[in-house]
């Protein structure tokens, strides 16, 4: 039976250098539950190792997780990529990792890149700086995401930096995107006023949380049959009576 699912599909963990060291799997899941979310995606920059532990904690309390990553393309465009399973996202990560430049992270400058397990222990860290552009163009990234069965969504298209509109000035039609994300700094309505051509796409909005308090600050509600990747894609395609709406939690409306 279809129902509404509250989803925040853009959250960073301790593995993202810019993500707070408080963003452990346990804290992310606790925050998501506190905010009444049904479904989350943790989308670290060019990495996915935290997902194993986020899934363990989420499974334990009935929160659904869609595996994802946030890629940074050669053009410095951020691209969200969602997958149907942990296996799929890990295979994808293996394929793109060689294209991440061999630049060592400087934790004092960028922050630590650590993997924290379900019991809050640090179980790994990434040496290569993750917040760097892959040596892959936007076109190549989109093609690879689809080759691995994933669903690509340009991130925070309204932002001046690290966004498809910020860098290219428009959303290239040949890439065949079906949905784009608008940052929580604006509303989908305002984004449409600024860029009427976005009406071709389904507009989503999520928190892009780097700190616990931001989880669920903006979320999208999906009317669908289950909180799964397959249903998410059907919902984005408007199959049957599936539909969605963007919700801002902040009392004053949009920032
Ligand atoms: Zn981003
Ligand atoms: Zn992000």
Domain boundaries, the chain: 3-248
pLDDT of residue 19: 75
How far out from the chain centre does Cα 1 lie? Answer: 26
| Ligand 1 centre distance from Cα of residue 8 (Å) | 14
The CATH number of 3-248, from 3.30.1490.190, 3.20.20.140, 1.10.3210.10, 3.40.50.1950, is 3.20.20.140
Query: What is the pLDDT at residue 159?
Result: 96
CB 9 within 8 A of CB 41: yes
The DSSP secondary-structure symbol of 62 reads: T
Separation of CA 161 and ligand 1 centre (Å) = 9
Q: pLDDT (tens digit, 9 = 90+) per residue, 165-196?
A: 999 999 999 999 999 999 999 999 999 999 99
17 Cα to the center of ligand 2, angstroms:
11
What pLDDT, on a 0 to 100 scale, did the predictor assign at position 8?
98
* pLDDT recorded at residue 212: 96
Task: Give me ligand 2 centre to Cα 16, in Å.
Answer: 9
Q: How high is the pLDDT of residue 21?
A: 85
Residue 87 has a pLDDT of 98
- Which ligand has its closest atom nearest to the C-alpha of 161? 1
> How far does the centroid of ligand 2 lie from the alpha carbon of residue 10, in Å?
6
Ligand nearest to the CA of 206: 2
pLDDT at 62 over 60: yes
Which ligand places an atom closest to the C-alpha of 16?
2
In angstroms, the CA 47 to CA 68 distance is 9
Cα-to-centroid distance, 1 and ligand 2 (Å): 32
Mean pLDDT across the stretch 249-253?
Answer: 53
Task: Answer yes or no: is pLDDT of 255 > 80.
Answer: no
Measure 240 CA to ligand 2 centroid, in angstroms: 31
Q: Distance from the CA of 208 to the center of ligand 1, in angstroms?
A: 7
User: Quick one: average pLDDT of 25-33?
Assistant: 98
Closest CA to 42 of 29, 30, 33: 29
Phi-psi group of 192: left, alpha or beta (phi > 0 → left; psi -120 to 50 → alpha; rest → beta): alpha
Residue 170 pLDDT: 94
Which H or E run includes 57? helix 51-60
User: Is a pLDDT exceeding 80 seen at residue 254?
Assistant: no
């Amino acid at each position: 039976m279809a129902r509404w699912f509250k989803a925040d599909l853009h959250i960073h963990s301790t593995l993202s250098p810019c993500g707070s060291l408080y963003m452990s799997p346990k804290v992310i899941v606790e925050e998501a539950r506190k905010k009444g979310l049904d479904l989350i995606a943790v989308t670290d920059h060019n990495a996915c190792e935290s997902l194993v532990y986020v899934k363990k904690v989420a499974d334990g309390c009935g929160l659904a997780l869609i595996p994802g990553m946030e890629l940074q393309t050669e053009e410095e465009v951020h691209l969200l990529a969602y997958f149907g399973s942990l296996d799929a996202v890990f295979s994808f990560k293996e394929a793109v990792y060689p294209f991440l430049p061999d630049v060592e992270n400087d934790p004092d400058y960028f922050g630590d890149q650590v993997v924290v397990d379900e019991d809050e222990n640090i179980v790994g860290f990434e040496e290569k700086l993750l917040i760097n552009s892959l040596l892959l163009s936007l076109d190549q990234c989109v093609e690879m995401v689809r080759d691995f069965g994933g669903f690509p969504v340009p991130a925070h298209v309204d932002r001046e930096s690290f966004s498809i509109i910020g860098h290219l000035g428009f959303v290239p039609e040949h890439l065949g995107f079906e949905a784009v994300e608008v940052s929580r700094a604006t509303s989908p309505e305002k984004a449409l006023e600024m860029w009427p051509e976005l009406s071709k796409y389904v507009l989503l909005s999520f928190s892009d949380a780097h700190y616990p308090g931001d989880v669920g600050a903006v979320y999208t509600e999906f009317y669908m049959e289950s909180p799964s990747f397959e249903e998410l894609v059907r919902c984005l395609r408007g199959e049957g009576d599936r539909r969605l709406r963007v919700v801002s939690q902040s009392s004053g409306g949009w920032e």
